[in-house]
Chain A
Amino acid sequence: MLFPTMTFALFFVVVLGVSWKLNDRPTDWKLFVLGASYVFYGWADWRFCFLLAGSTIGNWVLAQAVFRSRNDINRKRWMLCAVGLNLIVLGFFKYYGFFVESALGVLEPLGLAATPMLIKVALPVGVSFFTFCAISYVVDVFRRHHDTVKLLDFAVYLSFFPHLVAGPIVRVSEFVPQITHRPSGQSVDVTRAARLICRGMFKKVVIANFLATAIVDPLFVAPGQFRNWELLVGAWAYAVQIYADFSGYTDIAIGIALLMGVKFPDNFDQPYSARSIQDFWRRWHMTLSRWLRDYLYIPLGGNRGGPNAEYRNLFLTMLLGGLWHGASWTFIIWGAYHGMGLVLERRHAVQVEARLASADTPELRLADDSDESANPEETQVMQRATPSVVSTETMNPWLARLLVFHFVVVGWIFFRSTSVTGALEYFWSLITNWGVGSLVTPLVLLAIFVGMIGQFIPRRIGDALEYRVSQLPPIVMAVGIGVFLLVINLLGPQGVAPFIYFDF
């Protein structure tokens, strides 16, 4: 079930009404929301509900085993068992075809006949999102960040439909308290929710869908046949499209959850206004970045063990983050590219820090991620305090933004291309196929401009507008939202394209 459809709208009207009716009976509320989430998930293919249920029960049982083990060795064994099983499930559904094909590519030139079991594996929607949520729960129990939760609470956490298929990746400690102690039904932050939903719909239906059909999709099928002006604008367009698509989805998800009395963490914070690559990753898919940091980078050793170990861990984290996006060499290259960028930037930052220190200036502190036991809130504060050394100290902020944006855009070309050859063809055509072409229209440029300008509008302007809207009588607000959705429906291309991140 896709958010921007009438089917979902009718589904949500029923769910929202019943959900608040059951608000004072938490167990009934949880059972109802669990049922609704499985209907939502099974709408396209009910068989995947069994996978979700299996993942729920399996991870809950293993987390119980971790929690009840009397010694640390057994705790670790159960935790590794849970993580391993999750990775096997994820690997089977996401990477089976990729590894078989890659193995064949290696064996065949060597003349080694291989007859692998070539079966087709359908990718269940959202499998990597709920698997990551499950891993974070088991690992947090292992780290004693929190106790185990009831099976019903865990089942609702994993399947809660607003975040089930494409995030944000929420932690148990953020979610379960909100469903255990339900908020009052007398003060729903409807203006914030409406702002998020309307903004998300506009980004997805108007900006992302238009750019996809008008320029991005044709370009990436056969980049060799297009001119370099089209390819350059097309690369910008894809950067805006993927941002509008994914952040639009999470805006809607956060807004819907808010209407149901559940607060999700932010997932995007004007990422294209970032002044360094590190800054970009603090603003893009923030809950995934946080997950990778806490459950991959830190277990790999973080910045303990000296600069070289830190660079290696940083690179490996980004490489695996790339692989998480899909079974393709293009994603691996994309991850490695960002990993290299972060390593080089970090090295430069260390050099600048040393230079400043030797010049007897106040010491600049780099992010200290060595503390495994740091709780998330502390870590977030710690990260916010980290200076963007490279850009702010050595470069004009707008030049830094421009450079970082284009660094990211180059990465997106690998990310979007269907093959490495396709990506190389894109770059080659970009520097050789001189000309203007016909795909770049004023409307395409306008859509890119609108998508980009949102990155630089100060938050207070949106907040002020939100405040004014909140003062309107509810009936006026409701009619206004209906008309706004109508305008979005008019401006967007026909049909509902799936969200890009449904594939990940």
Chain B
Amino acid sequence: MNQPRPNKPRSNQPRRRTRRVRRTQSAETVWKGLVISLIVFVVLASGNMVASAEGMPLGWQRSVAVATSGVIDRLTNLVSLNRPYDWAAQQLGVEQKNADFEFPVVADADPEPSVTTTTLPPVRVPTAAAPLNVVVAGDSTAKALGDMLKSAVTEIPELSITNYGKVSTGLARSDYFNWGARMQEIVATDAPEVTLFMVGANDGQSILEGDGTVVAQYGSAEWEEQYRSRIAGIMDLNQGNGRRLIWVGEPNVGNPAIQEAVQTGNRIAQEEAKSRPWVSYFDVATLVAGPDGGFADYITLPDGSTARCYAGDGVHLSVKCMNRVMENLVPTLTGMYESAGGSSTTTTAAATATTTTAKPKN
């Protein structure tokens, strides 16, 4: 039988908690761990890596990233390592696969479009109970336009605005975001009665197909032809069922490289709109132009005050200048049905009827 242990004398000192010390690692182990973490990430999410690489700006970095991620993706596909990520992404609705949509190639615009007479159904006269279904789509400038438009028409219950603007998008890079496919989907599901479309500020780059194939280098003659096809494609997707498309031109921008693309896009859109009675062109650039008609960070408003017209990036409009756009855009929208009681027949004589460059409202 064991002897009972004598009780240890109790100390009056409070029991000291032992501080547990974290285990550290050598720098070499840390570096290897970092590389392993990255490999795990890249291998398991190889599809996501390919999509991210394709979304990069053109250049050697993108080429290397696309090639490398493509090889990794093919290898991981063989052993299905990327399946769990793809499955989870699909369940969460994260993966946005680019639906295939190929823009038809159109010939250069006829510089002297013939006068055509086309019968269009009238724009429905909306009510508060059945408002006009207006969809805004395009890049981040369109997103801002849609948000401001929503705000500007709060007192007009006859207009219902849905904003599908998506940042960093345009018509050039179908590999990143295919506006053709998206517009097809919007027309099918939302059946907009009026569509406002605005892109161009992100399109100063080569044109790519959905699979990443470069179809036209930026600056080449083919570029303008391909870009024209895409603009025309968006316009044609909005044809039918009395739908109207307002192509909202981009404002002038501060960056000369972007400005060139914006001006080209605006010009092509105006030319293509002339032969399409359901399309009108809304000229934002003129509304916010400087004294020489070009880009100006500050402009004089109709009330005589000077306002900074752009956000810090020289691309997106400030609230003051966006309000100036709204003062002209909202009457354009309401004018469609206020005068509609009738005008079911639109005679399109080039710039007069369909290309309605907004006359600035003072």
B6-49 CB contact bits vs A (8 Å, 1 = yes)?
00000000000000101111111111111111111110110011
Nearest neighbor of B154 in chain A, beta-carbon distance: A225
Q: A104-B306, A118-B297 are in contact. List 10 more A-B contacts (CB 8 A).
A: A17-B31, A97-B308, A100-B298, A188-B30, A222-B148, A259-B34, A474-B25, A482-B39, A490-B85, A495-B168
The interface residues of chain A, by DSSP majority, are classed as: helix
Q: Is the CB of A470 within 8 A of B37?
A: no
Q: How far is the CB of B241 from chain A (nearest CB, A)?
A: 27
Interface size, A (range) = 35 or more
- Chain B residues contacting A191 (CB-CB under 8 Å) are 22-24
- Asked whether any CB of chain B lies closer than 8 Å to the CB of A359, the reply is no
- Asked whether any CB of chain A lies closer than 8 Å to the CB of B94, the reply is yes
17 A-B pairs with CB atoms under 8 Å apart are A6-B52, A6-B65, A101-B306, A101-B308, A105-B305, A119-B297, A122-B312, A188-B25, A190-B30, A221-B144, A224-B151, A477-B33, A478-B32, A478-B33, A482-B39, A486-B40, A486-B85
What 5 A-B pairs have minimum CB-CB distances, sorted nearest first?
Answer: A482-B40, A222-B151, A185-B27, A478-B33, A20-B27
| Residues of A465-504 contacting chain B, CB below 8 A | 466-467, 470-471, 474-475, 477-479, 481-483, 485-486, 489-491, 494-495, 503
Q: How far is the CB of A420 from chain B (nearest CB, A)?
A: 11
Most buried by A among B31, B150, B168: B31
Q: How far is the CB of A208 from chain B (nearest CB, A)?
A: 16
Q: Is the CB of A188 within 8 A of B306?
A: no
| Residues of B282-326 contacting chain A, CB below 8 A | 296-298, 304-308, 310, 312, 314, 319
Total interface residues on B, CB under 8 Å, equals 56
Q: How far is the CA of A118 from the CA of B36 in the complex (A)?
A: 52
- Chain A residues contacting B75 (CB-CB under 8 Å) are none
Q: Is the CB of B254 within 8 A of A120?
A: yes
- Chain B residues contacting A471 (CB-CB under 8 Å) are 23
Q: Which residues of A contact B (CB under 8 A)?
A: 6-7, 9-10, 12-13, 16-17, 20, 23, 97, 100-101, 104-105, 108, 118-120, 122-123, 185-192, 218, 221-222, 224-225, 259, 261, 418-419, 422, 466-467, 470-471, 474-475, 477-479, 481-483, 485-486, 489-491, 494-495, 503
Q: How far is the CA of A503 from the CA of B313 in the complex (A)?
A: 11
Q: Is the CB of A224 within 8 A of B154?
A: yes
Q: How far is the CB of B329 from chain A (nearest CB, A)?
A: 14
Q: Is the CB of B167 within 8 A of A478?
A: no
Q: How far is the CA of A471 from the CA of B94 in the complex (A)?
A: 34
- Asked whether any CB of chain A lies closer than 8 Å to the CB of B2, the reply is no
Q: Which residues of B contact A (CB under 8 A)?
A: 20, 22-42, 44-45, 48-49, 52, 61, 65, 85, 88-89, 92, 94, 96, 144, 147-148, 150-151, 154, 167-168, 254, 296-298, 304-308, 310, 312, 314, 319
Q: How far is the CA of A498 from the CA of B35 in the complex (A)?
A: 25
Selected from A7, A12, A104, A470, the residue in CB contact (under 8 A) with B22 is A470
Selected from B45, B144, B148, the residue in CB contact (under 8 A) with A489 is B45
Nearest neighbor of A103 in chain B, beta-carbon distance: B306
- Chain A residues contacting B167 (CB-CB under 8 Å) are 495
Q: How far is the CA of A466 from the CA of B319 in the complex (A)?
A: 47
Q: Is the CB of B34 within 8 A of A478?
A: yes
- Chain B residues contacting A261 (CB-CB under 8 Å) are 27
- Chain A residues contacting B39 (CB-CB under 8 Å) are 482
* Given A185-B28, A470-B23: A489 touches B48 (CB 8 Å cut-off): yes
- Chain A residues contacting B65 (CB-CB under 8 Å) are 6
- Chain A residues contacting B36 (CB-CB under 8 Å) are 475, 478-479, 482
* Given A16-B31, A118-B298: A483 touches B44 (CB 8 Å cut-off): yes
Selected from A9, A12, A23, A118, the residue in CB contact (under 8 A) with B27 is A23
Q: How far is the CB of A331 from chain B (nearest CB, A)?
A: 14
* Given A118-B296, A120-B314: A419 touches B22 (CB 8 Å cut-off): no
Q: Is the CB of B89 within 8 A of A490?
A: yes
Q: How far is the CB of B94 from chain A (nearest CB, A)?
A: 6
Q: Is the CB of B37 within 8 A of A481?
A: yes
Q: Is the CB of A490 within 8 A of B40?
A: no
* Given A191-B22, A470-B22: A221 touches B151 (CB 8 Å cut-off): yes
- Chain B residues contacting A224 (CB-CB under 8 Å) are 151, 154
Q: How far is the CB of A2 from chain B (nearest CB, A)?
A: 13
Q: Is the CB of B151 within 8 A of A13?
A: no
Q: Is the CB of B22 within 8 A of A485?
A: no
Q: Is the CB of B27 within 8 A of A188?
A: yes
Q: How far is the CA of A154 from the CA of B16 in the complex (A)?
A: 43
* Given A190-B30, A486-B85: A222 touches B147 (CB 8 Å cut-off): yes
Q: Is the CB of A9 within 8 A of B150?
A: no
Q: Is the CB of B37 within 8 A of A485?
A: yes
Q: How far is the CA of A422 from the CA of B322 in the complex (A)?
A: 14
Selected from B22, B37, B85, the residue in CB contact (under 8 A) with A192 is B22
Nearest neighbor of A119 in chain B, beta-carbon distance: B297
Q: How far is the CB of B342 from chain A (nearest CB, A)?
A: 32
Q: Is the CB of A187 within 8 A of B94?
A: no
Q: Is the CB of B49 within 8 A of A6?
A: yes
- Chain B residues contacting A123 (CB-CB under 8 Å) are 312
Q: How far is the CB of A434 from chain B (nearest CB, A)?
A: 15
- Chain A residues contacting B40 (CB-CB under 8 Å) are 478-479, 482-483, 486
